[in-house]
Structure 1
Amino acid sequence: MPPLDTVIAPRNTDLDTALAEAREAYIAARPKSAAAYERAKQVMPGGNTRSTLYYSPFPTAMESGQGCYMKDIDGHDYLDLCGEYTAGLFGHSEARILKAIEGAIGRGLNLAAAGERESVFAGIICARFPSIELVRFTNSGTEANLFAFSAARAFTGRQRLLAMNGGYHGGMMTFAGGGSPVNAPFPVTLAPYNGIEATRALIREHKDELAAIIVEPMIGAGGCIPASREFLQMLRDEATAHGIVLTFDEVMTSRHSAGGLQKLHGITPDLTTLGKYIAGGMSFGAFGGRKDIMAVYDPAHPKALPHGGTFNNNVLSMSAGVVAMGEIFTEEASEAHRARGDALRDALNAVCRKHGVAMQFTGVGSMTQPHFRSEPILRPYTQSATEEGVRELFFLDLMAAGIYIARRGMTALSLPVGEAECARYIAAVEAFCVARKPLLGVA
């Protein structure tokens, strides 16, 4: 994965001018996407039904995908490094998953009954994740986290949740900026991510109220920031000492080994939540863990918690998931994928150091996030106006280069991404560092 050696002249010493030019070029190249956005605004608030996909001046509308490439409705081709925010692990056209879906469709969609594949799928998941003795399925990671916390409350008889400031656990459990107005009305205490002593003190202060601690072993939406093993071990020790249900949200991070980051760290939570890629790109979520905790959802018990959901065991997700996790994303595949991502991030950081710019990439394995500052990134933070401007410029420059990433800069490699695609991304980042160096701080 060598960096680009071609010399590129720096341009634009003024961020506002650079952004204005980049936005103008973006608009000029996408008249059909602009028109689609205007039509969408007539029938959806802001022309949008998924807030994550909104960005100004308007989102690019995609037409199709194949492997790790996509095409927009204006005819532009892109290397897809967004990877559907980690849900697109298998790319856009994995033949074995498509075959499984087609087979499920042929057998009938809405059977309103238990099926054989859901127990097979559940068995695969239980075998892979150290913490999961029993599992239940949902339609999203958001649902998984809501039901997991409800299980913890019923099991402990307590009501409060300890979460991390800047953490994200779905549309109704998001804690950036102190919380969201659409959050579920749970009593929540926020702790500093990777802050061992401060978080330990909060746990002990609220120990008699805390039903659960929820944490991503690597914060995803908040910047691909890994937790230290010491921090996670402290959470495990304190949860055990005070009878608190430790929950790892591995909706994103489960891809980093055959058994998630819990397996890599050797730290076993009481509950684990899953989602995103596990059903091969179909709608999916799951929560599972200790048998005694999960028993609160056993409908054979008269006091069981209800857990409905028309599509919890839908035939598409069950069939695709059995193939995706049982045949394709093997332990060997997960190890190779993590190694490729780690090598890519090392190469990107080497480029940033080479050019002496205040830019760095954090993450684990196949997930990576750029940050436009030099100091170590230990927890989510509030960006300056300059950082946000540079982040937008990075996104627009990558789009102009035919590389599709998340608007916030995050990349999540799919399995079809190979050495050539990684080299292309490294070259694009080097071109950005050189051309935009006057706008980036000095490391």
Structure 2
Amino acid sequence: MTNQTSQADIVRKSLKRRYRKEMRFRAYGILAIAIALTFLFILFADIIGKGYTGFMKTTITLDVTMDSEVLFLDDPTDPTQVQMADFVAPLVAALAETLPQATTEDRNALRKLVNPYASNQLRDELTENPEWMGTTQTITFLAHSDVDVYVKHQGDSAYSIKLTEEQQGWVDDLQERGMIESSFNDVFFTSGDSRDPARAGVLSAIVGSLLTMFIVLVLSFPIGVAAAIYLEEFAPQNKLTDFIEVNINNLAAVPSIIFGLLGLAVFINLFGMPRSVPFVGGLVLTLMTLPTIIISSRAAIKSVPPSVKEAAEGIGASKMQVTLHHVLPLAMPGMLTGSIIGMAQALGETAPLLLIGMVAFIVEVPEGFFDASTVLPVQVFLWAGSPELAFIERASAAIMVLLAFLMSMNAMAIWLRKRLERRW
């Protein structure tokens, strides 16, 4: 009886130790998840905190008098006169009239309140509406980037205000009158890159990314799926196929910049393809994405139960019929998921595209696969390295747009997986 009691005590003690270990292990897991979520929250908070103002623009509304003597322009329909006209002077005159405390010596300081491209806007609007000549029109212009930074970040030590105290007083006065306002930055989504932060947008980068991803989708998905089907269903098991499989697995771990070097050496230097175009960028990212798609597609094919193949073969189906009519439909959800995740990874790559020249300053929106373009990650890279403080928020806002694309692609992969998945 004593022996049985001692054995029971030993078992109870061992169970207590095991339970304590399990509790500690669960606590470590929860702690690890909490730490990961904390860092993720800090990252997103930093990006959103710096980038949300990038979705806002600062505008200034002025009553501009179209005086021919000030403009040095008689006929707005004459291209020669328009080219020689002075469209800055009416803007400065409108500001001077609005701010009577500004003296004649302050004309240069007043000019720096309005965006440098405001004169181009005035020229275009007067050319489109020649009847405005000799009248006063209320026009809204983009404010200077220094004014934009001041309006959004005054009091923030992370941003240095370049306006003088006098200019800050003028801006405060115009804000009180409602002539300087902040609104949604539609320019950010409707224009390409610009050397002026207030006019910089991501439209050209978004279009370039979509064109590049289209090339990746058209090439990588059919090639990757076909390679996976052959290796898994038709290839003989010999040293050659083993060599191919090992190299595919190795290529999946190769740094992306190596694929950029390969694209530079083969597509540009050897084949003479143009630099900085979506077609070449898509080819490079296809090479980088193929190993991921092949590996995920093979895993999806392996997940199909052997009984499905045996049943199809038992009723007389050929190897090709078994693969195309039974294995491929059941494996397609996993193949689509792996392909979308691979494309999402390619969308966020920067290094390989830098090497093939997609780091160019692109203002115009590309219209085809062979037009010069850039992509969202490269646009972020360019803005993040700019000395202009106003580009900091533009870079963070572009990161938010890129993250929205990536999360959308991952959400689509999850939805397709759940929608097309078959349980057996």
TM range (shorter): under 0.3
Higher relative contact order (CA 8 A, sep 6+): 1
Using structure 2 for the length normalisation, give the TM-score: 0.23
Max Rg structure:
2
Higher normalized strand content (fraction of residues): 1
Higher normalized helix content (fraction of residues): 2
